[in-house]
Amino acid sequence: MVYGNATQTLRTEQQTEATQKEAETSEKIAARAFAQSYLADLVPCVFGMLSENGYFHDPVEQGMILHLILF
């Protein structure tokens, strides 16, 4: 019966560890979903603001502006 008690203790420890890993995984999934949701709205807004402030430019448009100014 010594082996039976040791086996039961081992199984209990394994179950506890599995439960903890499951909880950690659930927290990580929830954190990732929140971050993706938050960034989904933030990224287009930031790119729009950067574009409006002239941080991105269209090379064709820039060439046309320079061509019109020079000639």
For residue range 49-70, list pLDDT tens digits in order: 998 898 888 888 878 887 777 7
pLDDT above 70: residue 36: yes
pLDDT of the residue at 3: 66
Asked if 12 and 20 touch (Cβ cutoff 8 Å), the reply is no
Confidence of residue 2 (pLDDT cuts 50, 70, 90): low
Q: For residues 52 and 7, what is the distance between their CA atoms, to the nearest angstrom? A: 67
pLDDT in tens, 8-31: 999 999 999 999 999 999 999 999
Structure tokens at 25: 């995984």
User: Which residue has tokens 């954190």?
Assistant: 31
Which pTM does this prediction carry?
0.56
Closest CA to 65 of 57, 24, 34, 8: 57
